Structure 1
Amino acid sequence: MKFLCLPGAYGSAKNFGVQLGPFAKHVEDRGLANFTYTQGVHEVDPPAGWEHYFGARPVYRFIDCTSGDGGDAFEILRRVRHIPRGLTPEATLRLFKKEDDEVFDTSSAQEALDSIFKTIDEDPEVDALIGYSEGAMLAASICCEEERRLEKEGIPRRIKFAIFFAGSPPLAIEDGECTAKLADECGPVIDIPTLHVFGTNDPLVYCAVALYNSCNPDTAELYDHGLGHLVPRDADNVEQLGDILQKIIKKIQKAETAGTGTPCSEYTEFSDSTDCSKSD
């Protein structure tokens, strides 16, 4: 299995290679998969006071967010402190959407998706995705769009499996508008096997849970590393994630050997009741 890895906002292919390094090395040493990296096309400056947090410059975003609140990656973090308790993840996300506003600029979102699809098309070995934060949102959007293409245009899917570190629900461009696909509005929209890695101490954990809700629960696994908005790099979490990944890849391989049905139905046939969650 070969993963295309998509970094978060204010990231780069080089920096994400370092960030994901312990996990990627562990997985490669176990012979489970290999990795290739991409990045956004919009070079950006980190928010004031965080110039050294995001690693070596230059850094990028997949989606151009230079206008409005989207230009400040920490605006949501400041506002999240005032969220009423008890709301669903989807209801929480709607609090941050102004009435009649698009989630992101449609042309920029389409440009990001086209760029990632071009990268996938250029490497025939890529059959899985890893995304972190903004990269996870775009990875989910690719999975969602592949499903739409298969259903509407008969275009075969390339992506068999996706790992999301944090992230938020997929974007879809429909009728000229870019919207987030929320589970309480349209149900699950991703049916390939997925692994959702997040931390309960992440102030944006509701986004990651909303992403999980947008995936088929029969083929989605959860792993809580108990930390914040990051990719875990410690030996314990890396080892446990490697064990989980080995089980999932084995299921996918068994499903491929078994027949030619949909990835969802084949994978579910071999699913088990293993609890892949972890918390402190």
Structure 2
Amino acid sequence: MKVLCLHGQNQNGHIFKNEIESILLNYQNSGVDLDFEFLDAPLRCTDGAVNGTPLYQYYEGLDIPKLRKAHHWLSGKLNENGPYDGVIAFSQGATLVSSYILYHQWYNHESPLSFRFAMLIGGSIPLPVLKDLGVPVTKEAEQVVEEANSQRHQALGPLPAHSSKARRALFNSDDCFGLNLNRVPLELKIRIPTIHVWGRQDPLLPVSIHLAGLCDPYIRKIFIHEGAHEVPKTEDNKMEVGKLLQWGLQRAVWPGHDEV
């Protein structure tokens, strides 16, 4: 089995491997033939390095042509090295994967994806992507995202108003932080098994909830840890994420997968 691992913005494959290696360790020592492949994003960041190691990003800003160029890069990697059983992605990597899935389902729905499940840690689906695909986006949803980004840029936690609304938003298809998910076409709901992981102290939790709301709830798992915008760090949380990864790997070989 092969799993593609995609890091976040201002990271690289080596950093991401170090962050999740203890989660993967049980699988690597289990005797199961598993290959976790870590890539570096295509664009080198200009704001420095870590211990002399370059940092990378998939795209800069939320300009749709730049994002689509990143999709083209990902598609090339999937065609070259895939197919994969799954993808594990963090932050910008998770946003790349989720938006790639939506465009693929909309424009290339006759072709199967090159992976069968996705674990999305601190992921999002940018509102410009939804707009580009014809999904109605309200001013309220835009305001929520603007507030969340402002909190992140100030290195603050989530707004109390966002935290208090989080659970209701996750299960309210009419008002998921301003998005009416009932008005989103089925073709723009992610229909492969997904695992969503985010921190209770992550200021960007509303955008992670937007993404989770766009995924099929019958083949979706959610884990909320006590940290911020990060890969879970405590041993208990890593164990829970490991169990969810096992669920995803099982779904990757599930006989009914191709009928989902």
Q: TM-score, normalised by structure 2?
A: 0.71
1:57-114 deviations in Å (ceiling 9; x for gaps): 311111123xxxxxxxxxxxxxxxxxxxxxxxxxxxxxxxxxxxxxx22221111000
CA contact (8 A) 2:5 2:39 kept: yes
Unaligned runs of 5+ in 1: 66-103, 265-280
Corresponding residue for 1:68? Answer: none
**Alpha-carbon distance in structure 1 between the residues aligned to 2:107 and 2:128:** 12
Change (3 A) 1:181 1:234: farther
Change (3 A) 1:106 1:246: closer
**Alpha-carbon distance in structure 1 between the residues aligned to 2:100 and 2:113:** 10
Change (3 A) 1:173 1:196: closer
Corresponding residue for 1:186? Answer: 184
CA contact (8 A) 1:23 1:233 kept: no
Corresponding residue for 1:271? Answer: none
Q: Do structure 1's residue 145 and structure 2's residue 103 form an aligned pair?
A: yes
User: Percent sequence identity over matched residues?
Assistant: 23
* SS of the residue 2:218 aligns to: coil
CA contact (8 A) 2:94 2:121 kept: yes
Corresponding residue for 1:76? Answer: none
* SS of the residue 2:53 aligns to: coil
The amino acid that maps onto 1:186 is: V
Q: Do structure 1's residue 167 and structure 2's residue 123 form an aligned pair?
A: yes
Corresponding residue for 2:58? Answer: 62
Corresponding residue for 2:69? Answer: 111
**Alpha-carbon distance in structure 1 between the residues aligned to 2:135 and 2:15:** 27
1:3-49 deviations in Å (ceiling 9; x for gaps): 21111111112221212221122332343843111232222234xxx
Q: Do structure 1's residue 34 and structure 2's residue 35 form an aligned pair?
A: yes
What's the offset of the Cα at 1:137?
Answer: 0.4
Change (3 A) 1:110 1:229: same
* SS of the residue 1:58 aligns to: strand
Change (3 A) 1:174 1:162: closer
* SS of the residue 1:230 aligns to: coil
Unaligned runs of 5+ in 2: 138-178
Change (3 A) 1:179 1:107: farther
CA contact (8 A) 1:12 1:58 kept: yes
**Alpha-carbon distance in structure 2 between the residues aligned to 1:261 and 1:12:** 32
**Alpha-carbon distance in structure 2 between the residues aligned to 1:111 and 1:179:** 20
Q: Bigger CA drift: 24-33 or 9-18? A: 24-33
Alpha-carbon RMSD: 2.9
